[in-house]
Amino acid sequence: MRSEFDYPCIFLWKLMYRLKSEEASVIPYEEVAARLSTDIKTGLSWKEAEIRQKLYDFNEFIVRKQQSLWSKYFEQFKNPLILLLLASAVVSISVQQFDDAFSITAAIFIVVTVAFIQEYKSEKSLEELNKLVPPKCTCLREGNSETFLARNLVVGDIVLLSIGDRVPADIRLIEAVDLAIDESSFTGETEPCLKTTAPIVIKGNGVSHMKNLAFMGTLVRCGYGRGIVINTGISSEFGEVFKMMQEEDSPKTPLQRSMDSLGKQLSFYSFGIIGFIMFLGWIQGKPILKMFNIGVSLAVAAIPEGLPIVVTVTLALGVIRMAKKKVIVKKLPTVETLGCVNIICSDKTGTLTKNEMTVTTIITSELYHAELTGVGYNSKGQCNYIGQLDSNDEPMINNQLHDTTVQINAVKRVLEVGCICNNADVIGGHLRGQPTEGSLIVAAQKLDMYGVREKYHRVQEVAFNSDQKMMIVKCIAKFCTTGDEKFFVKGAIERVLNSCTRYSLNDNLVPMTADKKARFLREAQVMGHKGLRVLATAYGNKMEDLVFVGMVGILDPPRPGAAEVIRTLYGSGVQIKMLTGDSEETACAIASRLGLYAFGNTALSGEEIDRMNEETLQVKIPASTVFYRVSPSHKLKIVKALQKNGNIVGMTGDGVNDGVALKKADIGIAMGKNGTDVCKEAADMILVEDDFSTIMAAIEEGKGLYHNIQNFVRFQLSTSIAALTLIALSTLMRIPNPLNAMQILWINIIMDGPPAQSLGVEPVDNDVLKQPPRNVKHPMITKDLILNVLLSAGIIITGTLFIFMKEMSDNHVTPRDTTMTFTCFVFFDMFNALSCRSQIKSVFTIGLFSNKPFLFAVGGSIIGQIFRYQ
C-alpha cells in the first residue's frame, strides 16, 4: 500500500494545515489529531517532525526585523551635536577654511563610528541576554517521552504538561487531571483556570472560554495533562501579545535612568558655559567662526552623551560574564541591586546541600534498627541489622523479636511503601525523578527488592508538595481478585503520624497510642540531630485510618565549599538565613555544620511564624538564622519582615508556590536544575547548577560592576570638566585657545570611546568584594567622587596650562605650541584614566597589566596621538 509520503502534495497540504484555536476548541480532540495527522498515543516520528520543522518556523518569536547596519549608522547623524558639528564644517567650507572643514568632517566620522560601534555592541549583548534561558518541553516522539528545547516543537507534537511547567505552544488538551493553568498573562485573571478535554459547546469571546486549550506562555499551577500542539511561535495566541510587546521599548534600569538625567544636567551646564565662552570670545573680538567651531567641538566633547550607552554595555557584558559562571541574570537592573543585597534566604536541599540522597538508617515501627552502607544511586552496599532499640514499653511476641527474618521483613515493609508511593527510577546508576524518592528505590535494591511498584495499578496520586509535606497514592494490587483499593503514604513524620491510628508490630496491627507516637517522634529527632532527613511511611484502606510502618533517615551532605562561601559572605556583610521544609533537628544540624547556626542564633518554625503578628516577626527575625518546616507562604512573610527591617533581600526558590516570595524579594533566585518554570519565570536570577557558591560569584560581579561604572563616570566627568575649564579659563584670561576644534574632538573620542569602555571591564578587586553591601539609597555621585573628579580635573588643567603658558611665552602661538599643549592634555588624561582604574588602590597594587582591554585602548590612543599632525 502506498503511504502519504508518496503523494507529496497531499502530504504537504496536510502538514501546512493550520487549525485556529476557536476551531480546535469546538471539535473533539480525536478529530484535531486526525486533521493534524498525528497519533495521540505515540506522537510524531522524528522524521515527520523534521519535515514539519522545515515547513513551519521554529517555535519561537522572530526578533524585530533587523534594521540594516547602514541605516543604523546614519541614524547616528540625527544626534543634534553631530548636526552642529556638520554645520560647523559647512561654515568652514563657506569661508574657504578647507583645512578645518576636512578635520571636522574626519572627526565627525570617527565620533559617529565610535558611537555606532558602542550602540551595536550594546544591542548585541542585550540580544544575547534574551537567549540565556531557552525554555524546554516534554513531548512524545515515537512513543517515548523526550525533553528538548521548546523551539523544536512542531504542530502535531503531543506535549506532556506537569505542575510548574510553562506551556510551550498552543495545545488542544487530550488529558487533563486536576489541570489548572495560570492565564494571568493573557486574561489578567489571577485565579488559575481549570481545564477540560471535552469540546466547547457554547462559544464565547477571548481565550478564557476555551477551557480545552492550553496557551503558550501560560503556567501550570496544578495537576497534569497532555495535548496536541495546534499552533507554534508567532502563530500562537501569545504571538499576538508578543507583537504588541515588540512595539514597547524595554524600560531602562534605575542606573541607566540616573545616568540619562546626569547627562542632561551636564549638557545643560555645559551649554551654559559654552555659550558664555563664545559670548566672551566674541566680546574680546576673537574670530567669530573660530569661536563657533570651538564652541561646537566643546559641546561634543564636554557632554558625556556616551555615558548611558557605556553603562548599558558594561552591565550587559557583566551579565554575560555571570552566565559563564552559571548564573543567569534575567534583567539588567538586577545587576545593580546585587551589590546591595545584605541578606540571602536560601533553601537547604540542593542549594546548601548536594541533593544527593542516600538512605543510611531505617527504623521500623517495631523499633528495629538497620543501617545501610554505600553511597550514590547504585545498589552497591548492604543492610546491617543492628537489632531492636531499647523499648521497655514493648510486649515481646513469640520470642521471635530478634529473629533476623522478622527484622528483614519489617525493614522491607518500610521500603515497600516507600517504593510504591514513588515516581523515581534508578536504572544503571542513573536517577530519573526526585533524589529523595530515588534514594528509597536504591535502598530497596540493596535489599534485592526490584519492581515493587509494578505489582500495583495506580488509581490516584496526590503529589508531594511543600505545604502538605506528604505524597499519597491510591493503588489496586495487580494480582488481587477483590480489587480493594489501598493508600500508600510517605512524608514528614508528624504529618504521617497524624493520619495513623495503628502501627505494624511484626505481622500484627496494634492501636497507636500517644506514648507510642511520642516514641516514634523521639527516634525521628535522634536521626534529625545527626543531620538526616526523616521520611515516614504508612499504608491503609482509608486515609484517616493508616498503619504506620516506620521511617528512613536520608543523608544529604552539605555542598563542599558551602561553609567557606558562607564565611566569606559573612565577612562582606551579607547574612545567610536557611529556610527548609525539614524538621528542626535536621535543619539545625546541617546549619551548624555550615556555620549558620551558633550560640545566640535561634530557629523559628513555620507554625511559630503563623502565630506571630508582623511586628513580632520583625523583632524576632534578626536573630533567627534557621527557619524549619516552612512552606512558600512563610517565605513571603519572612521576606516582608526582613524588608520592613530595612534589608535588601535575596530569596531562593524552586517550587510552584515560591513565585510570590521570589517576586517580592529584591532579588528572586530560581534553581536552574530543580526549579519549576513558574519559579524561573518569577525570578530575577537563575542558578544554573543550583549551587549556592554561584550566588556569591553574582554578588561579587554586581559589586565589581558598580565600582567599575563609578570609575568610568569619574573619568568622563574629570575629562569633561578639564576640557571645559581649560577653554573657559583661557578665554577669561584673554589668552589664545590652547586647544583647537579638532583636538577637542579627539579628546571626546578618548573620553567616550575605548579607554572609558575598558574601565568597565576592569577585573574585580578583592578588597572591593570585601566591602559591605552598598546602601541602595546612596547616589552614585557621592561627595568623595566629586572631590576626586575636581582634583583630577585640577591637575590636568594646571599641567596643561603650565605647558601652554611656557610654550607661548614668546607671545606667538604656533602649531607646535598647541600640539605640545594638546599632547600634554592627552597624556595627563591617560594618567587620569590609569588612576580611575581603582578608587582605593594605586595602579601598581592592582597591577599595570591586569586589564588588557585598557592597555590596548590607552596604547591605541597614544599611538593615534603620535600620528596626529597637530
Q: What values do phi and psi take at 33, rounded to 5?
A: -60, -40
Contact in structure between 198 and 212 (CB atoms under 8 Å): yes
User: What's the closest the beta carbon of residue 307 comes to ligand ATP, in angstroms?
Assistant: 43
Integer Cα distance of 829 and 349 in angstroms: 52
Q: Which three cell numbers stand for residue 270?
A: 555645559
Q: Which backbone phi and psi does 791 adopt, to 5 degrees?
A: -65, -50
C-beta of 440 vs 574, nearer to ligand ATP = 440
Are 257 and 311 a contacting pair, CB within 8 Å?
Answer: no
Residue 533 or 680 having the CB closest to ligand ATP = 533
Look up cell 513531548; give the residue.
139
Using alpha carbons, list the distances in angstroms from residue 310 to 121, 262, 369, 409: 10, 14, 65, 70
**Least distance from ligand ATP to the Cβ atom of residue 694, Å:** 16
DSSP 299-328: HHHHS-TTHHHHHHHHHHHHHHHHHHTTEE
Q: How far is Cα 303 from Cα 321, in angstroms, rounded to an integer? A: 30
Task: State the amino acid at position 814 in one-letter form.
Answer: T
Q: What share of the chain is helix, strand, coil (3-state, %, to 5)?
A: 50, 20, 30
Query: Do 416 and 444 form a contact (C-beta atoms < 8 A)?
Result: yes
- The residue among 43 and 435 lying less far from ligand ATP, judged by its C-beta, is 435
Query: Parallel, antiparallel, or unpaired for β 383-388 and 425-427?
Result: unpaired
Closest approach of ligand ATP to the CB of residue 343, in Å? 17
Tell me if residue 347 is catalytic.
Answer: yes
Choosing from 170, 347, 677, 829, the catalytic residue is: 347
Task: Give 236: exposed, middle or buried? Use CB within 10 Å, 0-12, 13-18, 19+.
Answer: buried
Nearest distance in Å: CB 556, ligand ATP: 8
Q: Give the nearer residue to ligand ATP in terms of CB position, either 434 or 605.
A: 434
Q: Which of residues 470 and 744 has its CB atom nearest to ligand ATP in the complex?
A: 470
Continuous H helices in 345-448: 404-420, 435-446
Nearer Cβ to ligand ATP (76/434)? 434
CA distances from 102 to 474, 492, 741, 742 (A): 86, 80, 12, 10
Minimum distance between the CB of residue 553 and ligand ATP, rounded to whole angstroms? 10
Which CB, 214 or 667, lies closer to ligand ATP?
667
Q: Which of these, 294, 161, 168, 293, lies nearest to 222 by C-alpha position? A: 161
CB 310 within 8 A of CB 331: no
Q: How far is the CB of 205 from ligand ATP (least distance, A)?
A: 41
Strand ranges for 216-269 from DSSP E? 219-231
CB of 582 to ligand ATP, least distance (A): 4
Q: From CA 569, how far away is CA 732, in angstroms rounded?
A: 54
Whether 473 and 538 have beta carbons less than 8 Å apart is answered as no
Q: Single out the residue of 430, 348, 434 nearest to residue 674, CA to CA.
A: 434
Nearer to ligand ATP, 123 or 178 (CB): 178
The residue nearest ligand ATP at its CB is 581
Cα distances (Å, whole numbers) of residue 346 to 41, 349, 823? 42, 9, 55
State how far the Cα of 388 lies from the Cα of 369, in Å rounded to an integer.
6
When the beta carbons of 512 and 630 are compared against ligand ATP, the nearer one is 630
782-785 long-range contacts, CB within 8 A, separation 24+ = 784/839, 785/710, 785/713, 785/714
Nearest Cα to Cα of residue 136 among 156, 114, 153: 153
**Grid coordinates belonging to 356:** 544527593
Give residues in contact with ligand ATP (CB under 6 A). 347-350, 434, 436-437, 464, 466, 469-471, 490-492, 533-535, 580-582
Q: Kindly tell me which of 492 and 705 has the beta carbon lying closer to ligand ATP.
A: 492
CB of 673 to ligand ATP, least distance (A): 12
Nearer to ligand ATP, 352 or 406 (CB): 352
Smallest Cα–Cα separation from 157: which of 166, 146, 98?
A: 146
Q: How far is the CB of 573 from ligand ATP (least distance, A)?
A: 25
Residue 702 CA to its chain's centroid (Å): 13
Local structure of residue 622 (DSSP, 8 states): G
Q: What is the DSSP letter of 44?
A: B
Q: How far apart are CA 118 and CA 39, in angstroms?
A: 51
Hey, which residues are catalytic here? 347
